[in-house]
């Protein structure tokens, strides 16, 4: 993943403004230089947002069903798991032994997955969602 320069701009611009204040003594020239830097910063951020939106639109318009339907498919899978859980609870009213056996089998299958794999999945998932949330918060400011 390429680290976009626009994420560094909020840290760089104030320092650049301080340097301009020390280097340019004329107040009018200083104001003009600061205004130009702010314009360049905004242009860069708008270009980054435009690139991100173009990627999202390209994914949505893709003829590959997996690319255009990956997120909804994952949600549908999670809905199915949740509904199955409730269905299993209802079936457990009449067949408690079978439901208990099924739950134990699922627990055994999940316990067979190595702990390092769980950590890797959790780190990747939380890292991805955290980065997306951070980007969205930054875009809304």
Note whether residue 95 is domain-resident: no
Establish if 125 belongs to a structural domain: no
For 26-44, the pLDDT digits (tens) are: 788 778 877 877 777 777 6
Say which range, 6-10, 21-25, 36-40, 88-92, has the weakest mean pLDDT. Answer: 6-10
> How many beta carbons lie within 10 A of that of residue 92, not counting itself?
15
Note the pLDDT of residue 115. 92
| Rounded Cα–Cα distance for residues 111 and 132 (Å) | 30
d(CA 39, CA 125): 36
Q: Is residue 51 part of a domain?
A: yes
What's the pTM value of the predicted model, to 2 decimals? 0.38
Residue 4 lies in a domain: yes
User: Nearest to residue 5, comparing CAs of 41, 54, 38?
Assistant: 41
Q: Is residue 118 part of a domain?
A: no
Note down the domain range covering 34: 1-61
Binned at pLDDT 50, 70 and 90, residue 7 comes out as: low
Instruction: Output the pLDDT for position 69.
Output: 66
Residue 3 lies in a domain: yes
Please tell me the total count of domains within the chain. Answer: 1
CB contact burial 130-141 (16+ within 10 A = b; e otherwise): eeeeeeeeeeee
């Amino acid at each position: 993943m390429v680290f976009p320069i626009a994420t560094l701009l909020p840290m760089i611009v104030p320092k650049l403004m301080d340097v301009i204040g020390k280097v340019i003594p004329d107040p009018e020239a200083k104001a003009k230089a600061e205004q130009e830097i702010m314009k360049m910063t905004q242009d860069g951020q708008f270009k980054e947002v435009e690139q991100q939106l173009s990627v999202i639109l390209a994914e949505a318009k893709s003829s590959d069903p997996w690319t255009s339907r990956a997120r909804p498919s994952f949600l549908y899978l999670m809905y199915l798991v949740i509904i199955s859980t409730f269905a299993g609870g209802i079936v457990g009213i009449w067949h408690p032994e079978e439901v208990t056996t099924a739950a134990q089998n699922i627990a055994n299958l999940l316990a067979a997955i190595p702990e390092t794999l769980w950590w890797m999945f959790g780190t990747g998932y939380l890292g991805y969602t955290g980065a997306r949330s951070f980007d969205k918060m930054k875009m809304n400011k």
